[in-house]
Amino acid sequence: MTEWFSETLHPHWRQSFAADRVLLREQTAHQDLVILENQTFGRVMVLDGMVQLTERDEFVYHEMIAHVPLFGHGAARRVLIIGGGDGGTLREVLRHKTVERATMVEIDATVVEMARDHMPMVSDGAFDDPRAELIIADGIAFVAGAHQPYDVIIIDSTDPFGPAEGLFTPAFYGACRQLLTPGGVLVVQAGVPFLQPREIAHVNAALSAAFPEVAFYAIAVPTYVGGLMTLGWASEDAGKKVPDPAVLAARVAASGLAFGYYSPEGHAGAFALPPHIRAAARG
Ligand code: SAM
């Protein structure tokens, strides 16, 4: 009989996957990790009952969390990723040939190992790229002790529970700002506002306490259920958010990259939020 896996993120409503195969069920040092296979979405990674990514739709999140800050910045050479254990964000960052170094700081070595074993299509060789540096550590402690500056910092974390809770605070965002080069850009995941309105309000307040320029952009990821998901954007330089259309189009063309979701027009349009999301962000 098919086993059904139900996500436990929302108390009164759940999405479920028919688990054709459960490839892994493991209590790591930090969280409960499940990797299963589903006919519609392919391999699915779940941490502490919450869907992290699926093979079928991960490109949406990973393209948008990487290319919006990188093309918006325009000249990023050093990138820091906090979390992102599956390697999808690292993969998209390293597609930019202009990136000289991408440092990924993930708290849970088992997530990285198991993603490489059971979902290798997500990192697609990124961990073996000589420009990639993997550090197994708590992102909060790493940022507090780091001195090397970064042009772009991407917080690709779990939701603000357990080990990720401290990644959503003004103190952490302030420490990230100290690490950014002038005009550097920070991007963070900020939940699905229709179902998690407090998360975007909280991220907005915390980011705004640390940065002069804060915005949110929306993406549609089928398995982050409940409507549009938002990513928070912060910088000292508002101009790095949505460059002039001709400039952005030229940057994207010069990269030679092709995408499944990202486009220069979609980059600009993603910042045009529906009023109910703007209201949720205000709290
Ligand atoms: N795309 C996903 C989402 O939004 O649901 C996030 C995927 S990624 C697997 C999230 C990673 O953040 C996990 O592997 C988790 O171990 C890591 N993480 C959580 N707290 C962390 C911390 N304090 N420092 C570094 N990594 C952390």
Question: Which of these three, 37, 54, 71, is where a domain ends?
Answer: 54
Separation of CA 102 and ligand 1 centre (Å): 16
Ligand 1: lining residues by beta carbon, under 6 Å: 30, 52-53, 61, 82-86, 105-108, 111, 138-140, 156-158, 163-164, 167, 189
How many structural domains compose the chain? Answer: 2
Please report, in range form, the residues annotated as the binding site: 31, 62, 86, 106, 138-139, 156-159, 163
Which residues are marked as active site?
A: 156
- Same domain flag for 128 and 35: no
Question: Looking at the structure, do residues 205 and 151 belong to the same domain, yes or no?
Answer: yes
Would you place residue 147 in the very low, low, confident or very high pLDDT band (cuts 50, 70, 90)? very high
| Claim to verify: residue 94 and residue 229 sit in the same structural domain | yes
ipTM of the complex: 0.98
Q: Could you tell me which residues are annotated as the binding site for S-methyl-5'-thioadenosine?
A: 31, 106, 138-139, 163
176 and 68 together in one domain: yes
Q: Domain of residue 24: give its range.
A: 3-54
For 39-64, the pLDDT digits (tens) are 999 999 999 999 999 999 999 999 99
Cα 155 to ligand 1 centroid, rounded to whole Å? 8
pLDDT of residue 161: 84
Closest ligand 1 atom to residue 30 Cα is 16
Q: Identify the residue with better confidence: 8 or 240.
A: 240
* DSSP 3-state of 151: strand
Cα 90 from chain centre:
10
Q: Assess whether 204 and 142 both reside in one domain.
A: yes
From CA 121, how far away is CA 49, in angstroms rounded? 22
Q: Span 251-255, mean pLDDT?
A: 98
Judgement on whether residues 69 and 44 belong to the same structural domain of the protein: no
Residues 44 and 69 in one domain: no
121 shares a domain with 36: no
Ordered DSSP codes for 214-259: EEEEEE--TTS-SS-EEEEEEES-GGGTS--HHHHHHHHHHHT---
CA 235 to the chain's CA centroid:
17
Are both 38 and 98 inside the same structural domain? no
Among the listed residues 203, 232, 264, the one whose alpha carbon sits nearest the alpha carbon of residue 72? 264
CATH number at residue 27: 2.30.140.10
